[in-house]
Protein backbone atom coordinates (compact mmCIF):
# COMPACT_ATOMS: atom_id res chain seq x y z
CA UNK A 1 0.00 0.00 0.00
CA UNK A 2 1.21 3.50 -0.85
CA UNK A 3 -0.01 6.69 0.86
CA UNK A 4 0.47 9.94 -1.04
CA UNK A 5 -0.18 12.96 1.14
CA UNK A 6 -0.80 15.44 -0.42
CA UNK A 7 -1.74 15.99 -4.07
CA UNK A 8 -2.31 19.67 -3.33
CA UNK A 9 1.33 20.11 -2.30
CA UNK A 10 2.43 18.15 -5.39
CA UNK A 11 0.45 20.38 -7.79
CA UNK A 12 1.78 23.47 -5.98
CA UNK A 13 5.33 22.30 -6.66
CA UNK A 14 4.49 21.73 -10.33
CA UNK A 15 3.08 25.28 -10.57
CA UNK A 16 5.95 26.94 -8.68
CA UNK A 17 8.50 25.32 -10.97
CA UNK A 18 6.46 26.55 -13.96
CA UNK A 19 5.94 23.11 -15.42
CA UNK A 20 3.02 22.03 -17.61
CA UNK A 21 0.40 21.10 -15.01
CA UNK A 22 -1.84 19.28 -17.49
CA UNK A 23 1.01 17.07 -18.73
CA UNK A 24 2.20 16.36 -15.17
CA UNK A 25 -1.34 15.46 -14.10
CA UNK A 26 -1.84 13.17 -17.10
CA UNK A 27 1.43 11.38 -16.33
CA UNK A 28 0.43 10.89 -12.69
CA UNK A 29 -3.07 9.67 -13.56
CA UNK A 30 -1.68 7.27 -16.18
CA UNK A 31 0.70 5.87 -13.57
CA UNK A 32 -2.14 5.46 -11.06
CA UNK A 33 -4.42 3.82 -13.62
CA UNK A 34 -1.74 1.20 -14.34
CA UNK A 35 -0.77 0.59 -10.70
CA UNK A 36 -1.52 -2.91 -9.47
CA UNK A 37 -1.26 -2.11 -5.77
CA UNK A 38 -3.38 -0.09 -3.38
CA UNK A 39 -2.75 3.65 -3.41
CA UNK A 40 -4.37 6.11 -1.01
CA UNK A 41 -4.25 9.74 -2.10
CA UNK A 42 -4.99 12.78 0.05
CA UNK A 43 -5.88 16.16 -1.44
CA UNK A 44 -7.35 19.42 -0.28
CA UNK A 45 -10.67 20.53 -1.75
CA UNK A 46 -9.94 24.03 -3.02
CA UNK A 47 -13.05 24.75 -5.07
CA UNK A 48 -15.59 25.27 -2.31
CA UNK A 49 -14.49 28.74 -1.25
CA UNK A 50 -14.36 32.16 -2.81
CA UNK A 51 -12.56 32.85 -6.07
CA UNK A 52 -8.99 33.87 -5.18
CA UNK A 53 -7.97 37.42 -6.00
CA UNK A 54 -4.50 36.72 -7.39
CA UNK A 55 -3.64 34.86 -10.59
CA UNK A 56 -1.35 32.19 -9.09
CA UNK A 57 -3.97 31.25 -6.49
CA UNK A 58 -6.61 30.89 -9.21
CA UNK A 59 -4.22 28.76 -11.28
CA UNK A 60 -3.62 26.56 -8.22
CA UNK A 61 -7.33 26.21 -7.49
CA UNK A 62 -8.11 25.28 -11.09
CA UNK A 63 -5.17 22.87 -11.50
CA UNK A 64 -5.95 21.24 -8.17
CA UNK A 65 -9.59 20.79 -9.15
CA UNK A 66 -8.69 19.25 -12.51
CA UNK A 67 -6.21 16.90 -10.82
CA UNK A 68 -8.74 15.83 -8.17
CA UNK A 69 -11.33 15.11 -10.88
CA UNK A 70 -8.87 13.11 -13.00
CA UNK A 71 -7.68 11.05 -10.03
CA UNK A 72 -11.26 10.41 -8.90
CA UNK A 73 -12.15 9.20 -12.39
CA UNK A 74 -9.60 6.35 -12.22
CA UNK A 75 -10.08 5.58 -8.52
CA UNK A 76 -12.14 2.63 -7.30
CA UNK A 77 -13.25 4.55 -4.20
CA UNK A 78 -13.46 8.26 -3.41
CA UNK A 79 -14.24 9.80 -0.03
CA UNK A 80 -14.87 13.41 0.94
CA UNK A 81 -13.88 14.04 4.56
CA UNK A 82 -15.12 17.03 6.54
CA UNK A 83 -14.91 17.49 10.30
CA UNK A 84 -13.55 13.96 10.60
CA UNK A 85 -16.60 12.44 8.92
CA UNK A 86 -16.02 10.46 5.72
CA UNK A 87 -18.66 10.59 3.01
CA UNK A 88 -18.25 7.97 0.27
CA UNK A 89 -18.89 9.52 -3.12
CA UNK A 90 -17.57 6.67 -5.30
CA UNK A 91 -18.89 4.09 -5.68
CA UNK A 92 -22.22 5.56 -4.73
CA UNK A 93 -24.19 3.58 -2.18
Q: Quickly state the pLDDT bin for 91 (edges 50, 70, 90).
A: very high
Q: What pLDDT shows up at residue 92?
A: 76
Q: In angstroms, rounded to a whole number, what is the distance separating the alpha carbons of residues 70 and 50?
A: 22
Burial class (CB in 10 A: 0-12, 13-18, 19+), 86: exposed
- Domain map of the chain by residue range? 2-90
Q: In angstroms, rounded to a whole number, what is the distance separating the alpha carbons of residues 82 and 89?
A: 13
Q: What pLDDT shows up at residue 18?
A: 81
Which CATH code fits 2-90?
A: 3.40.50.300
Q: What is the pTM of this model?
A: 0.88
The tens digit of pLDDT for each residue in 24-78 reads: 999 999 999 999 999 999 999 998 989 999 999 999 999 999 999 999 999 999 9
Amino acid sequence: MILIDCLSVWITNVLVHERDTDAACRALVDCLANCSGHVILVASETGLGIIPENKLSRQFRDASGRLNQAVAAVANEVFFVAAGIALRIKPQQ
